[in-house]
Structure 1
Amino acid sequence: MHTWTLLVALLAAAALAYHVGRKRAIATAGGSGRINTLHSLPAYYGFYAAMWAAIPALLLLGLWLGVQDQVITTLVKASLPPQSVAELTPGALGLLMNDVKNVASGNIASGAVTPAIQTAADHYARLQHLARWTQWLLVLAISVAGMSFAWSQTRPTMRARNRVESVVLGVLILFSSIAVLTTLGIVLSVVFESWQFFQKIAPSEFFLGTLWSPQTAMRADQVAADGAFGAVPLFTGTLLVSFIAMMVAVPIGLMAAIYLSEYAPRKVRSVAKPLLEILAGIPTVVYGFFAALTLAPVIRDLGEQLGFAVASESALAAGLVMGIMIIPFVSSLSDDVINAVPQAMRDGSYALGATQSETIRRVVIPAALPGIVGGVLLAVSRAIGETMIVVMAAGLTANLTANPLASVTTVTVQIVTLLTGDQEFDSAKTLAAFALGLTLFLVTLTLNIIALHIVRKYREQYE
């Protein structure tokens, strides 16, 4: 019996409890004609019964699923012959238990299946079968007990609405707390790993160094390699590619939004806006192929004809394609914000004798400026966090240059590169990825604070 089947059974029990609780409330009130004597509507009594039938059972099910495998594994380990596991290391014992689980589930073991492994696998399968049936019985028993408790509590004076709303409020607080705590956990984990990195590498070398070569020795018998962790080339490459992308996305996206919202006929808008937003649904790897196979050769050939030295993988190619990818973000958000400006403001401007272009420049755009800045910020974040296009079109070389025709790399590409492959997790090379991630986080936070200050300034000036 699968867990999904048990969840469906719990949903059915909750639906039954809702129906029974509602009928019970009407019956205790003396019939349908006397439901005005109830403290709450009959539906709240039904929801109260459904919650008692579902929530305790779901909590038990979650706890059971969390500890079931660990308990069974511990029992199987205890049943193994002591002489066969006495000399095993923790890693070897883990491999042995994996073989036991594979044999129990009918999969192929990593080695020969000995009688001891077969016996342990049979024991593991029996325990799983017993645990599954016990899980069903206990969960359904808790559901029935909860339904019975709700039945006994149902009376006309019971504040069912208050209890239901309190539980709903608690659930909302729980899920919002999970979101906040998850964000806090991510930040703290990045800060902790970055602190370990800066204990190995001086912050001055990381933030001011101009040479990036994070190759270090993995084993004692390898030739020593201290590595160079100057991240300035990564920051300049990220800013260069993002700047090129913004130079493409912001003007085109904003002008497209102004045309679609203010000038375009309804038929043109109904066709052009969905077509423009299709660009947002194209996978980034497709943009990377387009940049590497189409746009980069064109830029290289054109540069050679004009006498410029153009790298086969250039920041210009990556920035242009990234800008094309970001156009829908700027256009769609700006279009929605411009359409949200009240028509009365436009009519008032026209009544004062302003033309349509003057109304757009002096009334609509200032009113929509906070939303437009928000769309641009989203586009900047999208550009800074893009990886595939830069990998395929700009390369992996960390060059300290402002030449858009040269090959550069970005922070996100290096994070992927540092965490790919076989290396020690506590080495400076791997920990450098967390330092780069923390730097990106701080830069993005700073940009948001500056943008909020600018938006507040323009909003106060407009008001």
Structure 2
Amino acid sequence: MTSEGQSPDLSGGRGFRAVRESMYKYALLGCAVLSVLTTVSIIGVLIVDAAQFFQEVPLLQFLTGTRWSPNLQPVQFGILPLILGTLMITLGAAVIALPLGLLTAIYLSEYATPRARSILKPLLEILAGVPTVVYGYFALVYVTPALNAFLSGLNDILGLALPRLGLFNGLSASIVVGIMIIPMVSSISEDAMSAVPDSLRQAGYGLGATKFNVSTTIVVPAAISGITSSFILAISRAIGETMAVTLAAGTNPPEFPPVHTIFGLPYFAPGDLLGLYADSMATMTVAMINIAGGDISGGSIAYQSLFAIGITLFTITLAMNVISNLIADRYREVYE
């Protein structure tokens, strides 16, 4: 028995616990440093090899050229057709995914019962787990023939002259990429809307608002920072997609449309841009696959153009992520 003047030892091996906590701390620090070093190394490799490319090809010529032909004479390294193909497929995917994803998120957050949400949300997120090559094969075998049949029907019924889609086309690629990024939009948006306090909803109901009004005029504006972030992250995902676009859209860069002017300002005719969706439409990622898997020798100027495309794609994606963070910080609501 201990005497009344002695206090019990409650340290529980404080020395060993401190050593163990220090081990955890430095192990986690090592993981963080390794992640940062990996990112810095990738950026460094891109910059060094891209710099060698730009010693041979001027940066302005690379950014403003309208023909991409790294291995066919005459060799040209204009990235504008690749950027155009990337942006058009991304735009088509966004037109499909953003409204569908947001409407799905509104249903899951505001209308679905807990049981329905527990079933539908995991099923929806299965789309994110499907390999992208499956999406590309699906577009090639099923989506393109279905679209051609639909366009033929419109031509017969309405007397239109809509063009027939090629085997590889940008429209099918836009559809499957849009389907692929729906889970990202719906999941992140639903999480943002679920974080809105119920007190805001109850206040709306107390003023006589309907569920639809509460959802669209209270919940969505309150969660706008998270919704906008989901949009930008999904668009960034679409910009970097590779295999689905390679199989669905093909490997030929689009023909850069003629530039018209009005009052001295350049513009593209809408018909010229829409017509590009019927033909092959290679993107920046597809061009990188072609270079890496082709017969181009390592160290050549054509091989180094791979890193020039990579640093361009990295810059675009980084800018999208920075914009996403700025918007989230600017419009984030803090509820006490």
**CA RMSD, aligned part only?**
2.5
Alignment match, 1:416 = 289
Shift in alpha-carbon separation, 1:168–1:279, aligned structure 2, 3 A: closer
Unaligned runs of 5+ in 1: 1-29, 45-158, 217-224
Amino acid at match of 1:394: A
**Partner Cα distance (2:31, 2:308) in 1:** 30
Alignment match, 1:425 = 298
Alignment match, 2:200 = 345
**How much has 1:382 moved relative to structure 2?**
1.5
Structure 1 residues 194-228: Cα deviation after superposition (integer angstroms, max 9, x where no partner): 11111111111210000110006xxxxxxxx5611
Say if 2:147 is the partner of 1:299: yes
Alignment match, 2:214 = 359
Shift in alpha-carbon separation, 1:37–1:183, aligned structure 2, 3 A: same
Shift in alpha-carbon separation, 1:226–1:197, aligned structure 2, 3 A: farther
- Kept in 1: contact 2:97–2:179 (CA 8 A): yes
**Partner Cα distance (1:226, 1:278) in 2:** 46
1:419 partner SS: helix
Say if 2:294 is the partner of 1:439: no
- Kept in 2: contact 1:367–1:462 (CA 8 A): no
Alignment match, 2:328 = 455
Alignment match, 2:95 = 247
**Partner Cα distance (1:359, 1:169) in 2:** 46
Amino acid at match of 2:18: N
**How much has 1:381 moved relative to structure 2?**
1.8
Structure 1 residues 15-56: Cα deviation after superposition (integer angstroms, max 9, x where no partner): xxxxxxxxxxxxxxx9xxx99447x423x5xxxxxxxxxxxx
User: Which protein, 1 or 2, shows the higher relative CO under an 8 Å CA cutoff with sep ≥ 6?
Assistant: 2
**How much has 1:241 moved relative to structure 2?**
0.3
Alignment match, 2:138 = 290
1:313 partner SS: coil
- Kept in 1: contact 2:71–2:296 (CA 8 A): no
**How much has 1:424 moved relative to structure 2?**
2.3
Alignment match, 2:183 = 328
**Partner Cα distance (1:35, 1:444) in 2:** 61
Amino acid at match of 2:280: S
**Partner Cα distance (2:334, 2:19) in 1:** 48
- Kept in 2: contact 1:300–1:312 (CA 8 A): no
Alignment match, 1:201 = 57
- Kept in 1: contact 2:250–2:281 (CA 8 A): yes
Shift in alpha-carbon separation, 1:37–1:263, aligned structure 2, 3 A: closer
2:293 partner SS: coil
Alignment match, 1:123 = none
Count of residue correspondences: 307
Say if 2:78 is the partner of 1:230: yes
1:434 partner SS: helix
Amino acid at match of 2:315: L
**Partner Cα distance (1:35, 1:285) in 2:** 68
Q: Which has the higher helix share?
A: 1
Which deviates more, 255-264 or 397-406? 397-406
Shift in alpha-carbon separation, 1:461–1:358, aligned structure 2, 3 A: farther
- Kept in 2: contact 1:366–1:462 (CA 8 A): no
Shift in alpha-carbon separation, 1:227–1:160, aligned structure 2, 3 A: same
Amino acid at match of 2:218: V
**Partner Cα distance (1:301, 1:327) in 2:** 25
Seq. identity, % = 42
* 2:32 paired residue among 152, 173, 176: 176
Amino acid at match of 1:252: L
Amino acid at match of 1:41: G
- Structure 1 segment 74-223 matched on structure 2, within 5 A: 159-215=15-71
- Kept in 1: contact 2:137–2:247 (CA 8 A): yes
Which deviates more, 452-461 or 365-374? 452-461
* 2:12 paired residue among 34, 38, 41: 41
Task: Tell me the TM-score normalised to structure 2 length.
Answer: 0.84
Shift in alpha-carbon separation, 1:458–1:175, aligned structure 2, 3 A: closer
Task: Tell me the TM-score normalised to structure 1 length.
Answer: 0.62
Structure 1 residues 241-271: Cα deviation after superposition (integer angstroms, max 9, x where no partner): 0100011011011101101211123343333
Q: Max radius of gyration: which structure?
A: 1
